[in-house]
Amino acid sequence: MRHPLESLLTAGGILLMAFLSVLLLPAPSLGLVVAQKLMSTFHLMDLNQLYTILFCLWFLLLGTIEYFVARFIWRRWFSRAS
């Protein structure tokens, strides 16, 4: 039986892993030509907006991957529920 708050715990776990990713993993760095092209494509005002969006998406992606890997490991080898 699934826990009724499992979807809320999943979202919270992803955010927690994203915050840990900020501390542990490096963020991508774009070249100037690529950054200018992305700024013109998405109609951004300056480079700070682009990197803010890029860092948020990067860390949420890493947090999601880390969460599902940790959940798989937990359910595969450490969980006592069958």
DSSP string, 7-67: HHHHHHHHHHHHHHHHHHSPPP---HHHHHHHHHHTT-SSHHHHHHHHHHHHHHHHHHHHH
Instruction: Please count the other Cβ atoms lying within 10 Å of the Cβ belonging to residue 59.
Output: 20
Q: What percent of the chain has pLDDT above 90?
A: 27
d(CA 14, CA 64): 5
pLDDT(81) > 70: no
| Structural domain includes residue 10 | no
| Structural domain includes residue 47 | yes
Q: pTM to 2 decimals?
A: 0.68
Say what the pLDDT of residue 35 is. Answer: 93
| Structural domain includes residue 30 | yes
- How many domains does the chain fold into? 1
For 4, list phi and psi in degrees, rounded to 5.
Answer: -65, -20
Range of the domain at 39: 17-76
| Structural domain includes residue 6 | no
| Structural domain includes residue 42 | yes
* Digit-coded pLDDT (tens) for 3-56: 777 888 888 888 887 777 777 777 788 899 999 999 999 999 999 999 999 988
